[in-house]
Structure 1
Amino acid sequence: MPQDKTAPLSTWRLAAFAAPCIPVAAMLMPVTVYLPNYYAKDLGVDLRAIGFAFAMVRLFDLWLDPALGFLIDKTNTRFGRFRPWLVGGLPIAVLAIWMLFMARPGIDGAYILTWLVMGYLGQSMATMAHVTWAARLAPDYSQRARVFGWWQGFVVLGMLIVLAMPPMMKFGFGLDYASGIRAMGWFVLISLPLAVLLALLTVREPAAPPHHQPPRLRQYLALIRRPSVLRLLAVDILLQTGPVIGGTLFFFYFEAMRGYDRSAAGLLLLLYFAGGLAGAPLWSRLGQRIGKHNALAIAAVAYAVAQGSVLIAPHGLIWGVITMTLAGVPFAAANILLRAMMADIADEERLASGVDRSGLLFGLLSGTVKIGSAAAVFLAANLLKDFGFEARLGAANNGQALLALSLTFALAPAVLALIGAAVLRGHRLDQAAHDEIRRQLELKDSGRGDALDIVQ
């Protein structure tokens, strides 16, 4: 029987649908957090070349996601709108993962840039289709928080699995750090095709909403000038850039400032994401109870306090465990709540224009954060280099370099989060407003009435 487009998915179907989030997260997190340090310290690649490669691929990715969203909105095949893109991105991502995680000494910045581009192309094709499909599965305000709560919970689970691999290779099997990096790659190579297949076989695509007028490019240009869209994009940049800065500098900081080797630091990072996994249901439920934007503002302030406290936390393993676990609790909030809020704006936009532009909206949401991500990796690498920081020296770096490392790692993300919380205060699309939008959409789609104008 056809799947009811308004009925919530059962728990096991929702889990199966979210399954690709596990290998995708296991692919993306090490690329930002582990690979820059590994390439610099183990494979001997110049730190500036690494920073340049990661910055350039983010700028490539910046236009890629909106372009893919535009194409997904226009896709209409016998296999559906989303499934062709999800399947098409799979082989590209698998090949890139092999080249990035199985790299050997002798690679350079051009090699890294080439395969990062291919990896982000495959990942973006699959992820853009998957997230737009997720938004279409849950038309209700509260259902969306639940769907994206599962989504982000599985993202964090994927991070936890992949983070466990380097310590497991060292402490469980006596293997070196490079073996842990390759184990991460093997996990993604095996699990990604299986998870995509499970999602495709378990959940049907909902029927595409009726287009009351054909989409035109000028309408898309007007879309990015909508105040509600711009606000969410700004918040996305602010809240997502900080963790990228922290992730890029994580191993450098804990080796140089706290005296942990990379395996011990990896265990702390594991606890950070364990906190994120524990916090995911909290932010989903809080968003349903007090409004998504209010819950997200609380999470942003909590993250700022926890991240900034790293500077004043006493030395010692116990304090490291406490600090990093608490800093991880708000981690999932932005990805859960911003996606759910953008899905609500997609309904608002469809009511106003008669066109479903959810693909482009999620493309913008995914693409704009890469402005901050590109700047984060590039500026962090170059800032440390300008202050004389050398990856191979660790704690033997000069005091100026170590101070720059500490402030960039702890304070920069905290300040960005506080600004993001302030920007959220202007968001007006709460549950009552969205319920009215859904009521009007149902009338419009059924032909029983005309929708009212949306007051901007």
Structure 2
Amino acid sequence: MKAPALAAYALLGLPLAMAMLPIYVLVPNFYAADLGLGLTLTGTVLFLARLLDTVQDPWLGRLIDRRSARGWNLLLASSAVLLSAAMAALLIPPDSLGRFALAGWLGALLALTYTLHSLINITYLAWGARLSDQPEIRTRVAAWREGAGLIGVVLASVLPTALATRYGMSTALGVFALTFAVLLCLGGAMLLRAAPRPQRVARSDAQSWRLPLSNGAFRRLAGVYFINAVAVAIPATLALFFIADRLQLATLTGLFLALYFVSGALGLPIWTRLADRLGKRRSWRLGMLTGCAAFIWAVLLEPGSAWAYAGVCVLSGLALGADLALPPALLADIIPPEQRDSTAAYFGLWSFLAKLALALAGLALPLLAWVGYQPGSQAAWNLALVYAGLPCLLKLVAARLLTSLPCGDPTP
């Protein structure tokens, strides 16, 4: 599969990855502080919306599998238009709403945005898994998609913050909503018009979202993926606290995040080529171990260690490429040919595990409180251990379990 075809498929990954960072990071503060909704009401609405987002993905996967190829096209096109409108309404709410009406607006738009994003994302992942039966092609498809996604994350990290500093948060979110809509519609159009078509399979009316659970290889891979996803989500949850309170370098937060994600994008071709030589399973395990070796040094960093932490960001970011490209390619490999009509069901459960891992990583905050850390104070070893030590321990467990996974390696 040539680069133009891969690029036509991958482009949609940019706005899809771009969407979630403002919703998770900027929207809570915007509604709670700028719009006056308050922490308690905002937090309650966010919890309920995220709970819905977590549990609905397996059923959405089943719904997608029941659609024909034409149905996929219609689903993607309509969902992209609706998601653009929902994102704009979420980020640019009416001025005249009362407090409880604003809470209702936030809850309804979050639920709609989460659902539409999941519909597009699961269909998009299933599309990529059905592009080829050749394992090496699947790895390249995943690498191109995740590379575009990392560009989207960097853009979402930089654009709102830069605009907010100069024009205010309301204007920044409005510009972001417009940029997102243009990129989403462009990516959807490229996918539908220029990307390779997914292989057509016979549809089954007896599908169930539980079908992937009958696949032993999926259960083992899902277990490894979930443990590793929690290991990745914990540092993502605690990064701002670590940079501000342990390193006391809050002004360099944007630079550190950019170094990490850009390094992840640069590392994707390395892991793709390595997977061709060693196999996906061995390469992913090597990526986990490399990530541990690079990231564990964060435990030892003292306040003001800007250059040392930048090195940690670069090296662990390079290892991130393995976590992004290889697991979805491994998942595509283990779906039996007779279950190709249930590809979206597999990725629906996969998405559920990713979101569950993110939710579970939130428990790192009460764990920090239990060991005596308070935000805003100069942090000692307790924050560093939870931020870097615990994720490395989980990655070692995942790497050990991955050793017994009989897929993704070339036949001797």
Could you tell me the TM-score, scaled by structure 2's length? 0.86
Tell me the residue number matched to 1:98: 88
Tell me the residue number matched to 1:376: 361
Distance 1:260 1:176 in 2: 23
The answer on whether the counterparts of 1:273 and 1:328 sit within 8 Å (CA) in structure 2 is yes
Say if 1:388 and 1:35 are closer, same or farther in 2 by CA, change over 3 A.
farther
Q: Which range moves more in the overlay, 49-58 or 234-243?
A: 49-58
Choose the corresponding residue for 2:310, options 309, 318, 321.
Answer: 321
User: Is 1:350 paired with 2:342?
Assistant: no
User: Is 1:195 paired with 2:187?
Assistant: yes
The answer on whether the counterparts of 1:268 and 1:321 sit within 8 Å (CA) in structure 2 is yes
Aligned length: 407
| TM-fit CA distance, 1:146 | 0.8
| TM-fit CA distance, 1:421 | 1.2
Choose the corresponding residue for 1:330, options 313, 319, 322.
Answer: 319
The answer on whether the counterparts of 1:58 and 1:371 sit within 8 Å (CA) in structure 2 is no
Distance 1:384 1:178 in 2: 33
Distance 1:199 1:176 in 2: 34
Tell me the residue number matched to 2:273: 285
Query: What one-letter code is carried by the residue in structure 2 that aligns with 1:375?
Result: L
- State the secondary structure of the residue aligned to 1:223: helix
Distance 2:107 2:374 in 1: 22
Tell me the residue number matched to 1:153: 147
In structure 2, list runs of 5 or more residues that go unmatched.
none
Distance 2:156 2:191 in 1: 21
The answer on whether the counterparts of 1:169 and 1:179 sit within 8 Å (CA) in structure 2 is yes
User: Is 1:297 paired with 2:282?
Assistant: no
Choose the corresponding residue for 1:423, options 394, 401, 407.
Answer: 401
Query: What one-letter code is carried by the residue in structure 1 that aligns with 2:252?
Result: A
The answer on whether the counterparts of 1:86 and 1:127 sit within 8 Å (CA) in structure 2 is no
The answer on whether the counterparts of 1:73 and 1:358 sit within 8 Å (CA) in structure 2 is yes
Q: Any residues of structure 2 matched to 1:241-256 within 5 Å, and which?
A: 241-256=230-245
Compute the RMSD of aligned alpha carbons: 3.2
| TM-fit CA distance, 1:159 | 1.2
Tell me the residue number matched to 2:377: 395
Say if 1:116 and 1:129 are closer, same or farther in 2 by CA, change over 3 A.
same
- State the secondary structure of the residue aligned to 1:430: coil
| TM-fit CA distance, 1:30 | 3.4
- State the secondary structure of the residue aligned to 2:310: helix
Query: What one-letter code is carried by the residue in structure 1 that aligns with 2:12?
Result: P
Distance 1:368 1:201 in 2: 31
Could you tell me the TM-score, scaled by structure 1's length? 0.79
| TM-fit CA distance, 1:22 | 0.7
| TM-fit CA distance, 1:144 | 0.6
Distance 2:43 2:223 in 1: 24
Say if 1:334 and 1:160 are closer, same or farther in 2 by CA, change over 3 A.
same
Query: What one-letter code is carried by the residue in structure 1 that aligns with 2:230?
Result: T
The answer on whether the counterparts of 1:163 and 1:266 sit within 8 Å (CA) in structure 2 is yes
| TM-fit CA distance, 1:222 | 4.8
Q: CA offsets per residue over residues 209-249 of structure 1, 9 Å max, x none? A: 246xx45246x535303221111211221222233222222
Choose the corresponding residue for 2:75, options 85, 97, 109.
Answer: 85
The answer on whether the counterparts of 1:228 and 1:345 sit within 8 Å (CA) in structure 2 is yes
Distance 2:161 2:17 in 1: 18
Distance 2:111 2:369 in 1: 25
Query: What one-letter code is carried by the residue in structure 2 that aligns with 1:371?
Result: L
Query: What one-letter code is carried by the residue in structure 2 that aligns with 1:342?
Result: L
| TM-fit CA distance, 1:409 | 2.4
Tell me the residue number matched to 1:131: 125
Distance 1:131 1:113 in 2: 27
| TM-fit CA distance, 1:135 | 1.2
| TM-fit CA distance, 1:81 | 4.4
The answer on whether the counterparts of 2:247 and 2:301 sit within 8 Å (CA) in structure 1 is no
| TM-fit CA distance, 1:158 | 1.0
The answer on whether the counterparts of 2:16 and 2:117 sit within 8 Å (CA) in structure 1 is yes
Distance 2:172 2:275 in 1: 37
The answer on whether the counterparts of 1:32 and 1:244 sit within 8 Å (CA) in structure 2 is no
- State the secondary structure of the residue aligned to 1:330: helix
Q: Any residues of structure 2 matched to 1:13-92 within 5 Å, and which?
A: 13-35=5-27, 53-76=45-68, 80-92=70-82
The answer on whether the counterparts of 1:69 and 1:128 sit within 8 Å (CA) in structure 2 is yes
Report percent identity of matched pairs.
25
Tell me the residue number matched to 1:229: 218
Say if 1:297 and 1:98 are closer, same or farther in 2 by CA, change over 3 A.
same
Query: What one-letter code is carried by the residue in structure 1 that aligns with 2:238?
Result: L
| TM-fit CA distance, 1:382 | 4.1
| TM-fit CA distance, 1:389 | 6.3
Choose the corresponding residue for 1:257, options 230, 246, 271.
Answer: 246
In structure 1, list runs of 5 or more residues that go unmatched.
1-7, 436-456
| TM-fit CA distance, 1:154 | 0.5
Q: CA offsets per residue over residues 369-402 of structure 1, 9 Å max, x none? A: 222112223x2344456678665xx236xx6xx6
Tell me the residue number matched to 1:142: 136
Q: CA offsets per residue over residues 56-115 of structure 1, 9 Å max, x none? A: 4443233322212212222126xx242122123223422332244446996887665443
The answer on whether the counterparts of 1:241 and 1:376 sit within 8 Å (CA) in structure 2 is yes
Distance 1:322 1:206 in 2: 40
Say if 1:424 and 1:57 are closer, same or farther in 2 by CA, change over 3 A.
farther
The answer on whether the counterparts of 2:249 and 2:306 sit within 8 Å (CA) in structure 1 is no
